[in-house]
Amino acid sequence: MKPTVKPAVKRPGFPVRLEPDAGTPSATKKVAGRAHPERDTGIFDFKKPTPTALPSGVGLDSKAVRARMVHKLAAQGIADAQVLAAMGQVERHRFVDSALVNQAYEDTSLPIGLGQTISKPNVVARMLCLLREGAASPQGKLGRVLEIGTGCGYQAAVLAHLAQEVYSIERLRGLHDKARENLRVFRLANVHLLFGDGMAGYARGAPYAAIIAAAGGEAIPPAWVEQLAIGGRLVAPMHVAGGAQALVVLDKTPQGVTQTVLEAVHFVPLKSGTS
Ligand code: SAH
């Protein structure tokens, strides 16, 4: 079955309402200091036993704990080596509150303030695998990617390893600022943080090879489909029959848009406007 895309319940406002400074996305600011903390080859030996201890302090042997998380993801069926390598590189503990650092590499979502959450690693990995299956170039990298719902910036950081350019938009000023702060240390020149209502997408970066949303609405906003390149793929949570939320994949082909509904998920709501 190939159902057509449902119109959004709340249509996004046009033109895109972005702050003046958001109109020209800036790469995360470069700072002096260590480049790419703990950057390594990104290659994991999945068979190698990894420690079970959690970090007792920020950054303390976090590479080994992350390798254990990656090991678990692989055991759960995440098979894309590039996604696993990216998840193994990004220091998730830098994105959560210091009180939650010990849980940073558990397969759980965690609060990031303002009622929002960082998605659990398994869901992040799953969505990135789906994006890459549908939209990666033969060289294996995604082109330009739009992320709706920057939150703390974690997924944007993982995406930075898998895509040429990442445009990530957040509607809550507090989280947009927090993400900028969190990402500073990673010096990811290809991540562009935007403050605005992601329901309208970000037309100036379009067309996108891939679009990924971290918040779920009643339908996929039409702007996202418009801004997706032909051959591109969109992965987002969306409400389905019975009030449940499911992961939805849209593929934009020269013949039209196909929609596939996958497993149930629990994401925060997609909201319009900014605050
Ligand atoms: N990828 C994030 C997950 C954040 S949770 C991470 O790694 O931390 C989802 C985020 O989507 C929340 O921060 C929420 O404020 C944001 N959001 C919800 N509706 C939005 C909209 N219309 N535009 C932009 N961001 C939105």
Residue located nearest, by CA, to atom 21 of ligand 1 = 198
- Would residue 119 show up in a list of annotated catalytic residues for this protein? yes
What is the pLDDT, as a whole number, of residue 88? 97
Ligand 1 centroid to Cα of residue 237, in Å, is 12
- CB 112 near ligand 1, within 6 Å: yes
What is the pLDDT, as a whole number, of residue 10? 39
Q: For residue 118, how far is the Cα from the chain centroid?
A: 10
- CB 118 near ligand 1, within 6 Å: yes
- Contacts (Cβ under 8 Å, ≥6 apart) of 123: 109, 265
Ligand 1: which atom is nearest the Cα of residue 95?
8
Residue from 56, 62, 109, 119 carrying the catalytic annotation: 119
Ligand 1: which atom is nearest the Cα of residue 172?
15
What is the pLDDT, as a whole number, of residue 107? 94
What is the pLDDT, as a whole number, of residue 29? 37
Residue located nearest, by CA, to atom 14 of ligand 1 = 149
Provide the 10 A C-beta neighbour count for residue 97: 13
- CB 214 near ligand 1, within 6 Å: yes
**What distance in Å separates the CA atoms of residue 179 and residue 168, rounded to the nearest whole number?**
10
**What distance in Å separates the CA atoms of residue 147 and residue 212, rounded to the nearest whole number?**
5
Digits of tens for pLDDT over the chain (275 positions)?
A: 444 444 443 333 333 334 333 333 444 433 333 333 333 333 333 344 444 444 444 445 789 999 999 999 999 999 999 999 999 999 999 999 999 999 999 999 999 999 999 999 999 999 999 999 997 776 689 999 999 999 999 999 999 999 999 999 999 999 999 999 999 999 999 999 999 999 999 999 999 999 999 999 999 999 999 999 999 999 999 999 888 999 999 999 999 999 999 999 999 999 999 99
Ligand 1: which atom is nearest the Cα of residue 154?
7
Residues pairing with 195 in the sheet: 170
Ligand 1: which atom is nearest the Cα of residue 169?
24
- Between helix 121-135 and helix 62-75 the angle, nearest 10°, is 60
- CB 168 near ligand 1, within 6 Å: no
Ligand 1 centroid to Cα of residue 49, in Å, is 35
What is the pLDDT, as a whole number, of residue 7? 42
- Domains in the chain: ranges and CATH: 119-265 (3.40.50.150)
- CB 155 near ligand 1, within 6 Å: yes
What is the pLDDT, as a whole number, of residue 138? 63
